[in-house]
């Protein structure tokens, strides 16, 4: 086994000067104290001492319920709804003599409603449970004993187990690296799921454990690890290992985190130190919250309002009842003798009228219960589930390449999708594809490359850029004939296929391509079968440079610790020749240096300094005679930035032997320092040599956005939705992506808040942590104050600002006494980008926006580092990307690509919000109409507690005769077709501003319900009270009057629904008119039953109502008269005060929907000075162009 260990070159050797070995520092002295008390018995998890510690297992649960908590938690969820509490009280009272109807008719609907909703919750949680089962049952090799490794499930791992993880497997828990397949015990780890970064991280085991070469080595291995307690910090770790009599320090360099992946390493051995919910990735997540939409919360307030109305009506009725009852028997004289007040129960006893009034109050509370729609909740649950089915089956949100449809994992928040005010998005894997493409370059002042970026494509697809459109079409024709190479999208016949040798400045092009092929830290790997060389690089853009050099004739194929070998195209012979460059030094990239350099000696013996870096630091390091192409290069760099590309400037110079010798001596001395000044000393020495450079040109790579991201962001921005980017990436990377997806634009002022100041660095060097905290916080507060001052000036000038803040500054910005200032500044900016954010910070920022603004927030991400953010937001959207399922498992809705977000919100969100809002308003309308007819009849009958309708009439009102139309409306109605929702994004603001479920609209519908019930009752009463109804001259009885009034009510509420619908389907016709027809069929069937069953409805339709012409005339008259007020209001409102969706409907009906100029005029309402996106970017540049001219 030992012979099989890999000996090829790797990052560890390339960066040997920076890796260093672990040493004890101040924090190690804390081990054993508070917060540092964990003890791990390596390879002996079953020992007595380990058993006493009682560490948790490795089982991870993301479900909302367990078997034990399901019933109490689910019942609590149901009875958080005030309506259900009320109906529970009514169900209990229905078993007493106070009930105006039977107990079964009260209890059964409540059981059905609560049961159906709890069942839905159980099904949704079971889906989460199945995903947990899949993860917890993954297999990993662990040391069973006697040097034998066998497979076990993740969930069965214990603290102290030694595991063997193989290439491309995820780590099942937090491990300490013991050894690997490499001879110096290093391994490469991909942490995309944790911090969103795609570059590989280098980890290295302790020398003392590196000799554990194979499975049998662990037979007698025993050690004790003492370390910090479980915490959420991904980037720190303090511990030590006691092996034999010696103690060795442990640092983050040995820590392998759960959900990161082993790459480019055949296998590693590690010991489990944190399991399950103690692992750092789970510590960064929070328990799945029970989320409720804002509409549902407002609906509870509405139920409170109706309950208040119910109590008020009952109170009024009971007072009148008590007064009337007390007057029934005065001085032995009976006023209403036919009621026999001298021989009655306590409920009608004139001598105890106050008690009778109290009992009547309780009866009335149950009788008027139809004001509160018990079926509303279950109807909404049904509608939301069906809406979720439509979301899941929308082919326009189906990702063909990955065979992944959209998936609504919970249906509770459908309408919330139509009210999103702020989106908080991860970057890597969410906005981008985790890949870079070399697309353009400028060499010797000449621009090369016809590739088109996503931003340029987005502009060209609009009609604003016809010239760019022609270029796009030409390039796409070339694209079809060109085989694709990952990381390379360069198209220019002047330079490809060796044609660069014919260019006027071929000598500069040669140096440029040579620099690309040499100045890097990539590792070549040759495929054993095809011989094709691939590269593993620390960052995707570095890989793109090496691939571009290879494709253009400079193929890097081998690296040793001291040399770089490549086949390069010789311009003289036109053939490839092998050349070896001796690698002298690597001065690596850092965020403060913003550049990287290598020093090599070529075959002629010349010493060359090859350097690449950001234009902000490279141009100032050019020699006076090295600036020949500076003007043209700067111009091209600005053009590339406008296209959303990341640029690096390339320059070089020759070194003399004396200069290099002096530099190398100083550089070696700085590298070997072990003090805190080490990095600073290295930078100072590098400054000495990185000067007087000769400019060659600049590269432009595209941080490849996912398809359709710029268009999606543009649509969302026009809809008035703010987008914040929360990323673990460096600030420079995040800013480049901001430009790429048009969150940032040229000329937009950037408020940058960071903690990298010379004063703070000096304090850090001094080691005074408290002083550093005070200074850093004061610095952040000062920068925020300056930003607010700039914001007030910009608001006067209608300028857009961008806020960019790093993770260190965010720590202080989120403190209680600063966060309000920070939020005020952030809300005033058009774009907000938070860099180097930890998962906890992402969640805290999300909570800050959600709680302080009160607006609806949506978080979207693809990795485990986004879980806290997804759970904290009102809506969590998981990207079901290539890596991991943590985000999807913790999300409310899963989509495969960010570009589907515009359709999810602008189409489904708008429709769901409109449907649910209208549905709830209509539900309360029809129940108010129904309840007030009962109240008016009660008043008519001296508040005696007598119901106007047969018991089964009332039971079936919400079940059969009026519920199906409202469910159909909630599922199928469309005010605007999907393409118009996307064409006119501002329509979405109807949901954000909640215009369809405002108190004004709710009270308007409530008034309509009271008006309808008033007209129905009094028209029916006046028409039938003294009018002969049958041939014998009899007037109507209560059973006929109740049937007539109920018939009018069914007609009115169903026709009201027909008037409210915007988009009729066959199903809606069937349920509306079928509901009315069903009422007549029910009357026939129910009236034909035995009188003991049908009671007051026996033969009422056949014998009394149907033969009477007045029954049909009154029904027609009352229906028309009752609907006329609403019809008149709707016609006037649409004609003279149209809402935005009605304007679009008018435009469509008038034939203007295909007129580009007319549509553009309407869409311009979406653009404001602070709007981001490429449309606003282009409009802004058109406005600024005349000023520049």
* Tokens, residue 1132: 């006037």
Contact 263, 272 (CB under 8 A): no
Measured from the Cβ of residue 972, the count of other Cβ atoms closer than 10 Å reads 19
Q: What is the CA radius of gyration of the chain?
A: 37
Strand (E) or helix (H) holding 937: helix 910-940
136: CB partners within 8 A, 6+ apart: 58, 59, 60, 153, 154, 155
Contact 125, 61 (CB under 8 A): no
Nearest to 228 by CA among 283, 309, 270: 283
Handedness of CA 956, 960, 962, 964 (dihedral sign): positive
Contact 212, 269 (CB under 8 A): yes
426 belongs to the catalytic site: yes
Q: What is residue 573's DSSP assignment?
A: T
- CA 718 to chain centroid, in Å, comes to 19
Q: Measuring CA to CA, how many Å separate 378 from each of 68, 306, 967?
A: 25, 18, 10
Q: What is residue 960's DSSP assignment?
A: I
Give the three-state DSSP class for 600: strand
The single residue of 125, 195, 278, 426 carrying the catalytic annotation is 426
Q: Measuring CA to CA, how many Å separate 913 from each of 304, 918, 919, 1046?
A: 22, 8, 10, 31
The HSE-up count of residue 453 (CA atoms within 13 Å, CB side) is: 29
Distance CA 841, CA 865 (A): 10
At CA 593, angle to CA 591 and CA 595, rounded to 5? 95
Distance CA 1143, CA 555 (A): 61
Looking up tokens 């001598």 gives: 351
Distance CA 1083, CA 1077 (A): 10
Give the orientation angle of helix 82-93 with respect to helix 375-392, to 10 degrees: 140
Q: Please return the burial class of 10, using the count of CB atoms within 10 Å of its CB with bins 0-12, 13-18 and 19+.
A: buried
The HSE-up count of residue 516 (CA atoms within 13 Å, CB side) is: 31
Task: Locate all alpha helices (DSSP H) within 271-405, ordered by sequence.
Answer: 280-283, 294-326, 353-367, 375-392
Nearest to 679 by CA among 18, 86, 113: 18
Task: Locate all alpha helices (DSSP H) within 41-151, ordered by sequence.
Answer: 48-53, 70-78, 82-93, 104-136
Give the orientation angle of helix 353-367 with respect to helix 910-940, to 10 degrees: 150
Contact 720, 990 (CB under 8 A): no
Distance CA 627, CA 630 (A): 5
**Helices and strands in the chain, H and E counts:** 42, 35
Handedness of CA 258, 264, 269, 270 (dihedral sign): negative
Nearest to 456 by CA among 439, 469, 473: 469
Handedness of CA 1056, 1059, 1060, 1061 (dihedral sign): positive
Looking up tokens 């890999």 gives: 6
Distance CA 1062, CA 1144 (A): 13
Distance CA 90, CA 113 (A): 15
Distance CA 189, CA 187 (A): 7
Contact 489, 439 (CB under 8 A): yes
Catalytic residues: 426
């Amino acid at each position: 086994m030992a012979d099989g260990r890999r000996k090829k070159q790797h990052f560890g050797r390339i960066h040997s000067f920076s890796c260093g070995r672990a040493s004890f520092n101040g924090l190690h002295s804390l081990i054993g104290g508070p917060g540092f008390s964990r003890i791990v018995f390596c390879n002996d998890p079953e020992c007595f001492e380990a058993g006493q510690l009682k560490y948790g297992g490795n089982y991870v649960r993301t479900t909302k319920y367990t078997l034990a908590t399901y019933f109490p938690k689910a019942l609590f969820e149901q009875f958080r709804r005030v309506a259900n509490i009320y109906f529970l009280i009514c169900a209990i009272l229905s078993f007493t003599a106070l009930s105006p109807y039977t107990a079964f008719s009260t209890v059964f609907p409540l059981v059905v409603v609560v049961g159906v909703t709890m069942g839905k919750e159980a099904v949704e949680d079971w889906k989460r449970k199945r995903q947990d089962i899949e993860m917890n049952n993954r297999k990993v090799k662990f040391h069973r004993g006697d040097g034998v490794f066998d497979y076990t499930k993740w969930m069965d791992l214990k603290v102290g187990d030694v595991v063997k993880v193989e290439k491309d497997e995820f780590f099942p828990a937090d491990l300490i690296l013991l050894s690997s397949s490499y001879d110096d015990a290093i391994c490469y780890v991909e942490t995309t799921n944790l911090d969103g970064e795609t570059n590989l991280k280098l980890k290295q085991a302790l020398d003392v454990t590196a000799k554990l070469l194979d499975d049998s080595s662990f037979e007698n291995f025993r050690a004790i690890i003492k370390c910090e307690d479980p915490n959420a910090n991904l980037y720190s770790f303090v511990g030590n290992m006691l092996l034999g009599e010696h103690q060795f320090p442990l640092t983050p360099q040995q820590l392998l985190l759960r959900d990161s992946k082993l790459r480019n390493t055949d296998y590693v051995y590690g010991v489990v130190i944190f399991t399950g919910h103690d692992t750092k990735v789970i510590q960064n997540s929070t328990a799945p919250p029970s989320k409720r939409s804002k509409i549902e919360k407002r609906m509870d307030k509405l139920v409170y309002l109706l309950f208040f109305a119910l109590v008020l009506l009952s109170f009024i009725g009971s007072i009148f009842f008590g007064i009337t009852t007390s007057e029934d028997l005065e001085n032995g004289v009976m006023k209403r003798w036919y009621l026999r007040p001298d021989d009655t129960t306590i409920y009608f006893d004139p001598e105890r009228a106050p008690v009778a009034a109290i009992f009547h109050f309780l009866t009335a509370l149950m009788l008027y219960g139809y004001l509160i729609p018990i079926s509303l909740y279950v109807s909404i649950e049904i509608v939301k589930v069906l809406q979720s089915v439509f979301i899941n089956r929308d082919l326009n949100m189906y990702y063909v390449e990955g065979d992944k449809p959209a998936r609504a994992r919970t249906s509770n928040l459908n309408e919330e999708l139509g009210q999103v005010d702020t989106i908080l998005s991860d970057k890597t894997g969410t906005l981008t594809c985790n890949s870079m493409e070399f697309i353009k370059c400028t060499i010797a002042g000449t621009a090369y490359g016809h590739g088109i970026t996503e931003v340029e494509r987005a502009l060209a697809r609009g009609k604003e850029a016809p010239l760019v459109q022609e270029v796009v079409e030409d390039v796409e024709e070339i694209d079809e004939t060109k085989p694709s190479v990952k990381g390379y999208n360069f198209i220019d016949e002047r330079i490809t296929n060796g044609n660069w040798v014919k260019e006027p400045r071929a000598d500069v092009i040669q140096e440029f391509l040579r620099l690309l092929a040499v100045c890097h830290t990539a590792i070549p790997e040759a495929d054993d079968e095809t011989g094709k060389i691939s590269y593993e690089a620390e960052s995707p853009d570095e890989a793109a440079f090496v691939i571009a050099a290879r494709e253009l004739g400079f193929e890097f194929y081998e690296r040793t610790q001291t040399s770089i070998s490549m086949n390069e195209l010789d311009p003289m012979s036109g053939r490839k020749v092998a050349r070896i460059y001796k690698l002298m030094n690597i001065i690596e990239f850092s965020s403060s240096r913003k550049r990287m350099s290598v020093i090599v000696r070529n075959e002629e013996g010349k010493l060359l300094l090859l350097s690449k870096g950001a234009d902000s630091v490279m141009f100032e390091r050019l020699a006076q005679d090295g600036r020949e192409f500076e003007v043209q290069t700067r111009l091209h760099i600005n053009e590339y930035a406008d296209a959303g590309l990341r640029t690096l400037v390339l320059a070089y110079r020759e070194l003399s032997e004396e200069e290099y010798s002096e530099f190398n001596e100083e550089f070696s001395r700085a590298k070997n320092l072990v003090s805190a000044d080490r990095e600073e000393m290295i930078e100072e020495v590098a400054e000495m040599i990185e000067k007087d450079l000769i400019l060659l040109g600049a590269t432009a790579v595209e941080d490849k956005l996912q398809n359709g991201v710029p268009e999606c962001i543009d649509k969302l921005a026009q809809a008035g939705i703010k987008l914040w980017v929360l990323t673990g990436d460096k600030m420079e990377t995040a800013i480049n992506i901001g430009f790429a997806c048009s969150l940032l634009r040229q000329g937009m002022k950037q408020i940058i808040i960071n903690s990298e100041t010379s004063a703070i660095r000096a304090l850090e060097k001094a080691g005074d942590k408290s002083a550093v905290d005070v200074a850093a916080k004061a610095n952040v507060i000062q920068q925020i104050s300056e930003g607010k001052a700039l914001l007030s000036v910009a608001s006067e000038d209608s300028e857009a600002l961008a806020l960019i803040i790093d993770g260190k500054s965010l720590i202080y910005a989120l403190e209680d006494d600063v966060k309000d200032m920070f939020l005020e500044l952030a809300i005033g900016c058009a774009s907000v980008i938070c860099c180097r954010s930890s998962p906890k910070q992402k969640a805290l920022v999300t909570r800050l926006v959600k709680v302080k603004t009160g607006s609806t927030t949506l978080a979207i991400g693809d990795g485990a580092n986004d879980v806290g953010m997804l759970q904290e937001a009102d809506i969590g959207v998981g990207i079901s990307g290539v890596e991991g399922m943590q985000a999807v498992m913790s999300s409310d809705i899963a989509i495969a690509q960010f570009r589907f977000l515009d359709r999810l919100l602008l189409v489904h969100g708008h429709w769901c919000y409109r449907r649910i809002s209208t549905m709830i308003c209509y539900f309360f309308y029809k129940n108010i109409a129904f309840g007030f007819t009962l109240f008016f009849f009660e008043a008519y009958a001296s508040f005696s507690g007598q119901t106007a309708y047969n018991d089964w009439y009332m039971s079936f009102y919400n079940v059969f005769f009026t519920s199906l139309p409202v469910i159909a409306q909630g599922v199928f109605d469309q005010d605007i077709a999907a393409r118009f929702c996307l064409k006119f994004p501002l329509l979405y603001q109807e949901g954000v501003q909640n215009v369809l479920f405002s108190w004004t609209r709710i009270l308007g519908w409530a008034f309509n319900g009271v008006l309808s019930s008033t007209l129905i009752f009094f028209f029916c009463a006046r028409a039938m009270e003294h009018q002969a109804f049958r041939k014998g001259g009899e007037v109507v009885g209560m059973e006929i009057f109740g049937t007539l009034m109920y018939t009018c009510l069914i007609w009115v509420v169903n026709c009201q629904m027909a008037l409210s619908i915007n988009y009729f389907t066959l199903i809606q016709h069937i349920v509306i008119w079928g509901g009315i027809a069903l009422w007549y069929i029910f009357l026939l069937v129910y009236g034909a039953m035995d009188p003991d069953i049908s009671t007051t409805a026996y033969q009422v339709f056949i014998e009394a109502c149907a033969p009477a012409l007045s029954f049909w005339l009154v029904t027609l008259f009352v229906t028309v008269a009752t609907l006329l007020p609403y019809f008149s209001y709707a016609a006037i409102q649409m004609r003279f005060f149209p809402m935005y969706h009605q304007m679009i409907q008018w435009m469509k009906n008038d034939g203007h929907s295909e007129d580009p100029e007319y549509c553009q005029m309407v869409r311009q309402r979406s653009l404001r000075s602070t709007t981001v996106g490429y449309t606003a970017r282009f409009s802004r540049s058109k406005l600024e162009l005349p000023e520049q001219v």
